[in-house]
Amino acid sequence: MSEQSKKNSYEELQKLRHSAAHLLAHALSELYPDTKLTLGPPTPDGFFYDCLPTKNFKLEDLPKIEEKMHEIAARDLPLTHKQISKDEARKIYADNKYKLELINGIAADTVGLATQGSFNDLCKGGHVESTGQIKFFKLTAISGSYWRADKNNDALQRISGTAFLTEEDMLADERRRAELDMYDHRRLGKQLDYFSFHGEGAGFPFFHPKGKIVLNELRKYMRSILQEAHYKEIETPIMLSDELWRNSGHYDFYKENMYFSLIDEKSYAIKPMNCPGSILLYKERPRSYRELPLRLMEFGKVHRHELSGVLHGLFRVRAFTIDDTHIYCTIDQIEAEIMTNIGIITKVMKKYGLDTIKIVLSTRPAKAMGSDEMWEKAISGLKNALEKAHLKYEVAHGDGAFYGPKIGFEFIDSMGRGWGCGTIQLDFFQPENFDLKYVSSDGSLQRPVMLHQAIYGSLERFFGAILEHYKGHLPFWLSPVQARILTISQEQRPGAQELFTFLKSKNVRVEVDTSNDTLAAQIKNAQMDKIPWMLILGKKEISEGTVTIRYANGKQDIGVSQDKLITKINELIAE
Ligand SMILES: [Zn+2]
Ligand SMILES: [Zn+2]
């Protein structure tokens, strides 16, 4: 499809979805006349309408509403649009304070009104010609929302749906949704016994033995990569006094998301970020230029209060671990540090089969601290690093934080979804704020620059993301159970035990199927558990001292010797 026709069909689709939102509102007005309709825009995935209903809508109500939408669509009502005076509009919406607020908020003298049959809606225009053109649509969800997305305003209900130009498009979308649902990490996490959530701690994940192995492997790999790049690992406390958070500025800007507690009658906060702890450690003694760049890394567990409505499996939790590095360096060292960072981020994501799709450099905003010279030097350092790494990037002019520019990375997964992880944030503020210094080569005291870097970001979120990305089939090195030994009959059990002991001694995560199931059933179970390798032992294998490897994709290697098995395993782990 050409760029132009892609654009045209996107516009057509948005028109359709906009019209479908009117259709939904029309259906609501006929079924539940006292419902207060507010706003209903098209979205990249479909459309929604927010309303204040007289009854609490539930999922069971959707088919009835959908049926009404089809009925109105079949009336094939022409859609017309005209400008009317605000007074006229106020008369139409005299009993709807939301619509009145919208009308009063419009600067022009007139407002747009869309009409289909006896139903009117405020609207800027851009519809299909008649309701009959809205054929392929579906209502998908009911959720809570707030008037104008402000939680201090009235709580509303949002009905969401999706609409397509063709039936094929709608079916393809249904398949995609089914796939996303099937590989939802919350479902996989339960099925594979990796993690769970409990009402006693909403948003605080519990990792089961198998899930903890995965988390540990994620850490181990990151640790090895960072040690190679001369990062030093530290650990700072979970709780620190309020005073620190007031000094760092988090208290003022982030108080709502922080948890507090008293210790010896003094108020403490559980850390929502790791930076202040790292800074205290830096300040613990005088630092020399010889120590710079000082790269202090920590798997820092942070707690942040998120609203219960936004919690979502491992993607949005209230406690998570960041692979958080703070680099203290001179402004001239920035470029080299960024070069290293970029190298690490791209290497790590490649390891997980995630391709980079977008790199964004955010530059100085209108309101910023620090001198022009500092900003110019820093930004040219970031640019040079990106260019030397031959990476394409976008510049988000003025999008940086007031305290420094930033590079953000986005990756694409196997289901075509983008994931923002990997950020490098420069910080001129905290070194100033905490009066950080180092002794330069001429003996004078100088101010270092600080760099915040996270590669996975939240380990928990990253775990959830790759679990979906791999559709539950984690690669060999990451799998909590790498191999399961299956036997054709009880006779091979002693042999299975020997192989188990041998592989254990080679640090392979292995288990034996001790059920009395048939081989076919054992294979099926191993597949359900998404175990990368099944090691099958029969009479022939035992007498030859070999094993048959059956891979998760169904392929087999027959007659593999123990030596060869270990070589293969080591190759896989080294990959
Ligand atoms: Zn409209
Ligand atoms: Zn930080």
Nearest-ligand number for the alpha carbon of 297? 2
Q: In this structure, which ligand is nearest to the CA of 429?
A: 2
What confidence score (pLDDT) does residue 6 get?
66
Compute the C-alpha angle 3/140/121, nearest 5°: 75
- Distance between CA atoms of residues 293 and 331, nearest Å: 10
If you measure from the C-alpha of residue 287 to the centroid of ligand 2, how many angstroms do you get, rounded to a whole number?
A: 19
Q: State in Å: Cα 140 to ligand 1 middle.
A: 21
Please check the confidence at residue 188 and state whether its pLDDT lies above 70. Answer: yes
Of the listed ranges 318-327, 350-359, 520-529, the one predicted with least confidence:
350-359
Percent of the chain with pLDDT over 70: 98
Q: Which among 360, 372, 340 has a CA at the least distance from the CA of 451?
A: 340
Using the mean position of ligand 2's atoms as its centre, give its distance from the Cα of residue 288 in Å. 22
Of all ligands present, the nearest one to the C-alpha of 116 is: 1
Tell whether the model's pLDDT for residue 1 goes beyond 60: no
Tokens of 432: 């100033």
CA 499/CA 549 separation, integer angstroms: 13
Check residue 293 and give its pLDDT: 96
Taking the CA of 454 as reference, the closest ligand is 2
CA distance 551 to 538: 17
Distance 465 CA to ligand 2 centre (A): 23
For the residues 459-481, what does the mean pLDDT come to?
Answer: 96
Identify the nearest ligand to the CA of 119 by its number.
1
CA of 452 to the centre of ligand 2 (A): 5
Mean pLDDT to the nearest integer, 223-250: 94
Q: How confident is the model at residue 538 (pLDDT cuts 50, 70, 90)?
A: very high
Give the closest ligand to the alpha carbon of residue 114: 1
The mean pLDDT value of the chain amounts to 93
Q: Nearest bound ligand to CA 19?
A: 1
Distance 55 CA to ligand 1 centre (A): 26
Q: How far apart are CA 115 and CA 83, in angstroms?
A: 11
CA of 472 to the centre of ligand 2 (A): 32
> Residue 450: what pLDDT?
95
Percent of residues, the chain, with pLDDT higher than 90: 78
Cα–Cα distance list, 467 to 300, 316, 317, 447 (Å): 22, 15, 16, 43
The tens digit of pLDDT for each residue in 319-346 reads 999 999 999 999 899 999 999 999 999 9
Distance 123 CA to ligand 1 centre (A): 4
The region that residue 321 occupies, defined by phi over 0 for left and psi between -120 and 50 for alpha, beta otherwise, is beta
Identify which of 214, 286, 189, 270 has the alpha carbon closest to the alpha carbon of residue 237: 270
* Residue 7 banded pLDDT, cuts 50, 70, 90: low
249 CA → ligand 2 middle, Å: 13
Confidence band (pLDDT; 50, 70, 90) for 4?
A: low
Phi first, then psi: what are they for 41, rounded to 5°? -90, 160
The bound ligand whose nearest atom lies closest to the alpha carbon of 42 is 1
Q: pLDDT tens digits for 551-560?
A: 999 999 999 9
Ligand 2 mean position, distance from CA 274 (Å): 6
Mean pLDDT score, 80-100: 93
- Lowest-pLDDT range, 233-237, 423-427, 476-480? 423-427
pLDDT of residue 433: 92
From the CA of 300, which ligand is nearest?
2
* Distance from residue 247's CA to the centre of ligand 2 (Å): 15
- Tens of pLDDT, residue by residue over 373-386, are 888 888 988 999 89
Q: How confident is the model at residue 358 (pLDDT cuts 50, 70, 90)?
A: confident
pLDDT at 180 over 90: no
| Distance, CA of 281 to CA of 300 (rounded, Å) | 14
pLDDT at 500 over 90: yes
* Residue 416 pLDDT greater than 60, yes or no: yes
Give the DSSP letter of residue 390: T
Query: Cα(19) to centroid of ligand 1, in Å?
Result: 6
Q: How many Å lie between the centroid of ligand 1 and the Cα of residue 49? A: 12
Confidence of residue 2 (pLDDT cuts 50, 70, 90): low
Kindly give the distance from the C-alpha atom of residue 276 to the centroid of ligand 2, in angstroms, as a whole number. 8
Quote the tokens at residue 236: 């700072």
Nearest in space to 400 (alpha carbons), one of 370, 432, 366: 366
> Ligand 1 mean position to 21 CA, how many Å?
8
- Please indicate whether residue 10 or residue 470 has the higher confidence score (pLDDT): 470
- What's the 6 CA to ligand 1 centre distance in angstroms? 22
